[in-house]
Amino acid sequence: MTQTKSILKSRASWAVSSIAIAFFGAALPAAAQENMMISEARYCGVGLQGAKDSFQKANPALFSVFNDRAKMTQLSEAILRSTDSSKWKIRLTQDGGASLALAHLFTYGSIDEHIYTDPRDRRTYRAAIFSIGINTVVIDTVNETVRAVVPAIISYSERFNGPLTPAQQSAGFIKLLSDTDDRDSASYKWISNLSEFDFQLDETNLAARPLILSDDALRALQSNAGNDPRKSVGLFIQRLTAQQEALMASAFRKSVIPSSIDENGKDSSQSSSEDGKKIYAAMIPDCFDGGKRLELPKPNFELQISIDTLMLKDFEHRLAQSSGAQAGQVFQVEQGYGGRFNVKIIGPGETVDTLLDEQTFGFSRSVRLDKASNISAYEQYSKLTANFIAEALEAYATQERGWVKQHLSSTITDKKRRDAKKIAKSWKSIIVDRMKVAPLPRKKDEDD
């Protein structure tokens, strides 16, 4: 399988053949503790985000690893040793009386299997991509509130000779987590990047509203998923919302309040009191018995992404000459995946939310493959959406006019609404001035 650039010349890439890590850092504020550095916390090992039963249902392979407490103790100790060697800015202790605690919480675990034929040697291969979402959470154990969150997604891929067994699925997750001494591994890079992060509280915070799919987008996604529970609409929303949170933190370097999206794609958090603050449920066996219910602060700004349409189209490529193929024979197919996405920035209002910005974009990518390859449209739509979110947020953070001009949806016909320079200027006012995102170097646009 050969991955090609997006039809619209997308810059983002999706790593499928080597260890990959996406690290995203953010801190959650306490309203009365502006710019306060967190310097020490009790280490609570590895836990789960959400309820135990729902996590097990949605992530059976990763849960089997978590449920092996002896193995998890080994992993937690390895992470702690790596933390010490990486010289974190926050000191981790075993002091049970500490007022702050730190834990790494699994948010999801996914295994994407692909069967494809390499056109160069005509041989069939099977590859699996293992991914784990992890929130590093600092908890105020006295007030039972979330104080800081650093979301991350780590992944790696491996080739297999046949379908994965349950044992191989668990082993893949263990390998992903346990290579903390290998400088080329995803887990080492995750810990190393955390060491560079200042666990500092801020006066503003962000949140990602759950991803929304239109009826058309739902039909496109469901028509290619069949009855496979691993390809449900709920898991699509859960995982893409988690990626959006992580990418927001990466692009804006700001606070991101974690959501509690369950395997059905619904927000499972509950209001704790009249002030509307939500509850963050977690399982942290090393420090707390049973499940823990922690209070989250209310967000100052929210980002809402909706998918209006999802589409795919095949393009045939005929090769005049090819080893093992007759002249003119169809040798490869290029599958193009595209979508129309709506992005809203929502701010606080006295009685109702305030819409600060709304844009609609078109985005696409393509995969070139042999006709015998088995490529999941569901997974390609997932990658398309993740790549769109990554590029869009980078453009928002840098106010990149060229990206806006290239990706504004053709459904927008009003010339004033298509003024990329005006849109970028508006973003600077909202993102830098109001959201207090530190200005980033703006990429040189073609029209500069």
**What's the pLDDT at 348?**
78
Residue 432 DSSP symbol: I
Residue 236 DSSP symbol: H
- DSSP for 70-88, written as a single string: HHHHHHHHHHHHHHHHHT-
Render pLDDT for 317-350 as a digit per residue (tens, 0 to 9).
665 544 554 444 545 677 789 999 999 999 976 6
Please state, for a pLDDT cut of 70, what percent of the chain lies above it: 77
**What's the pLDDT at 87?**
73
H-helix or E-strand containing 302? strand 301-318
- Domain boundaries, given as residue ranges, for the chain: 2-203+262-298
40, 72, 76, 82, 193 from 183: Cα distances, Å:
26, 21, 18, 11, 12
**What's the pLDDT at 368?**
67
**What's the pLDDT at 162?**
81
- Collapsed DSSP state (helix, strand, coil) of residue 328: coil
Render pLDDT for 115-157 as a digit per residue (tens, 0 to 9).
777 666 777 778 899 999 999 898 988 889 888 888 888 998 9
Helical spans, DSSP H, in 255-400: 377-398
**What's the pLDDT at 32?**
39
Tell me which amino acid residue 353 is. Answer: D
The residue that leads in pLDDT, 35 or 63, is 63
Question: Among 73-87, 93-107, 139-153, 337-351, which stretch is predicted with the lowest mean pLDDT?
Answer: 73-87
Please report where in the chains the tokens 């097990």 appear, as a residue. 56
Question: Distance (Å, rounded) from C-alpha 331 to C-alpha 391?
Answer: 32
CA dihedral 252, 253, 257, 260 (to 10 degrees): 80
First vs last C-alpha separation in the chain:
38
Tokens coding 294: 């922690």
Work out the angle between the directed axes of helices 60-67 and 166-178 (0-180°, nearest 10): 60
Q: What is the mean pLDDT of the chain?
A: 79
Residues 6+ apart with CB under 8 A from 332: 119, 316, 317, 319, 368, 369, 370, 371
Please report where in the chains the tokens 């349409």 appear, as a residue. 309
Contact 47, 105 (CB under 8 A): yes
Count of residues in the chain: 448
Question: Among 191-195, 291-295, 345-349, 389-393, which stretch is predicted with the lowest mean pLDDT?
Answer: 191-195
Please check the confidence at residue 10 and state whether its pLDDT lies above 50.
no
Render pLDDT for 396-444 as a digit per residue (tens, 0 to 9).
999 999 999 999 998 888 888 899 999 999 999 999 998 888 776 665 5
Residues 6+ apart with CB under 8 A from 64: 166, 170
**What's the pLDDT at 270?**
61
Q: What is the mean pLDDT of residues 59-73?
A: 92
Range list of β-strands (E), 24-180: 40-49, 91-93, 100-117, 124-140, 145-160
Q: How confident is the model at residue 30 (pLDDT cuts 50, 70, 90)?
A: very low
Q: How confident is the model at residue 228 (pLDDT cuts 50, 70, 90)?
A: confident
